Amino acid sequence: MNIKDIHNVYFIGIGGIGMSALARYFKFIDKNVAGYDKTPTPLTEELAEMGIDIHYVDDIKAIESVFMNSRNTLVVYTPAVPKSHSEYQYFEQHGFEVKKRSEVLGIVTKDSFCFAVAGTHGKTTTSSILAHLLNETGTPLTAFLGGISEDFNSNFLFKGDAFSVVEADEYDRSFLRLYPNVACITSMDADHLDIYGTDDELVKSFKEFANKLQPDGKLFIRNGLPLQGITYGIEDDSDFCIQNLEIEKGTYIFDLCTPKTTLKGVRFNKPGKHNLLNGLVAFAMAIEAGSPLDHLVKGLETFKGVERRFSYMIKNDNLVFIDDYAHHPTEINAVFDAISEMYPNKKVLAVFQPHLFSRTRDFAGAFAKSLSNFDSVVLLDIYPAREEPIEGITSSWLLDMIDNPNKKIVDKSNLIHEIKAQAPDVLVTMGAGDIGLEVSKIKKELEHAN
């Protein structure tokens, strides 16, 4: 498929974070863009403001006629959309070029010097830091991000097409559609077992991804993962290593050791060792674009963050309110560790919305153990996303496993009342579902109360 021959691009599931970044790209290069999604969101509203027509009913008649020409229309879909979707069925049966988002991402980036960020955790933050670093050093890049960068206020950046930054998503084995020049693997914890079945199959897929690199490509591996590559870590013997780590007023200060030199007094402002590791590997990858080290050091310090990745919503003497996308036990542990490091001896309330029935079932014990660490826990109902309910798998079932006397299930309509009643020193909201839509409401109410 040649992008130049495509005049129209139609998205089924256009409101997804990855899909919307691609939609922005095609609009940016002057293609006709339209799409379907299940519900309106702030992301779909932004796309509509760009002139992209979006409808919210699965109906072929709602699609503009210009997109009904199979010779010059590309149809992009997300695996989250069921194959029974009538629009998907129509395009498949009428000779259209129908491709997954990951395939299109591979096609779009194949002629650029491609940086790919893989791992079960940390992809969005790492790729956002990398895009920020490359942008700060004047690199002509296109970035497709899985979250809203606070540095760009977008999940898409276009400053040229010589280099590209993409997230290499393991879900549905999507990352095997990419052929990067430089890649990293941040983590390989068990996840997406609805796709892989076993942890071994997931690891096997990551190894297959590692073999997708270009012949002269470089692979960066977090120290300790069972793969060969350039290693990175904290206070260890990695090729890229952070040493002499200190915390000063919520900022990390450290020495950054590369295979060739040691950079002293480097600063990074995102809490959590997991974020520090993300920053380190982004720094190491950015060197491969020829970026000057002094500019990269400055870029690390000025990185603002990603929406819903340990994002401070309120930060004052009375209350700290943090919002995070954490939806896996390892991620919840990382959030807990970061809060404990930055706010020792503070009363912490965790509000968690489980994401997917299958993930809740597969990791229930680990979720319960992670959530038990907080002083108080509030669970919302499970967010189903692409799944149908699984009998017996509920938030009540998960709640019973949590070893914490301060635990309860709350309906979203009563959430703000419950938070105010508990009056925590630190509030953290976590989850990958629609809990993110509650955050601004919570912030508004708590700011008013304070």
Q: What DSSP string describes 187-212? A: ---S--HHHHSSHHHHHHHHHHHHTT
Give the C-alpha separation, 241 to 233, whole Å.
5
Identify the CA nearest to 81 among candidates 24, 145, 18. 18
124 is in an annotated binding site: yes
120 is in an annotated binding site: yes
123 is in an annotated binding site: yes
Three-state DSSP class for residue 257: strand
Q: Enter the tokens of residue 182.
A: 């430089």
Q: Enter the tokens of residue 105.
A: 């991402």
119 is in an annotated binding site: yes
* Phi, psi torsion values for 163, nearest 5 degrees: -125, 150
Q: Note the Cα 187 to chain centre separation in Å.
A: 13
Handedness of CA 366, 238, 174, 22 (dihedral sign): positive
Give the C-alpha separation, 271 to 335, whole Å.
9
Give the C-alpha separation, 14 to 155, whole Å.
13
Q: Enter the tokens of residue 216.
A: 């002269």
Handedness of CA 394, 365, 409, 315 (dihedral sign): negative
Three-state DSSP class for residue 318: coil
Beta-carbon contacts of residue 222 (< 8 Å; ≥ 6 apart): 119, 184, 185, 186, 187, 231, 232, 233, 277, 281
- Whether the CB-CB separation of 18 and 156 falls below 8 Å is answered with no
Distances (CA, A) of 45 to 39, 40, 42, 186, 242: 11, 7, 5, 33, 41
Binding region for ATP: 119-125
Binding region: 119-125
